[in-house]
Amino acid sequence: MLTIHIVQARLGYGIDYIKFADKEGLVLYLLTRGVTDDNILKALDGLERHGAYTIQQASSTPGAAGVVEVCGEATESFRSPPRCRQ
């Protein structure tokens, strides 16, 4: 379960000890954490109305929808996979 508590302050937004000066930075952070678009819209609305909002949703892998296929396997655990040939 992913739980993020957001507060709106006089100079921006805050999540734990991270501060954002504008909505764009906040939205980008939430997207990278895997928060759904619907929950982001609800959070922005809740921030406007109440000054705080808590997002709760099932955990998901951030950015999994845009993953490109891997074209090789690493031969040792500390090596990265070989690059794709074009």
The predicted model gives 14-19 an average pLDDT of 87
pLDDT digits (tens, 9 = 90+) for 19-73: 998 999 999 999 999 999 999 999 999 999 999 999 999 876 555 444 333 444 4
pTM equals 0.63
What string of DSSP letters covers the chain? -EEEEEEEETTEEEETTEEESSHHHHHHHHHHTT--HHHHHHHHHHHHHHSEEEEEE----TTGGGPPPP----SSTTSPPPPPP-
The per-residue pLDDT for 59 is 78
The per-residue pLDDT for 72 is 45
Name beta bridge partners: 27.
Answer: none
Q: Is the model more confident about 77 or about 63?
A: 63
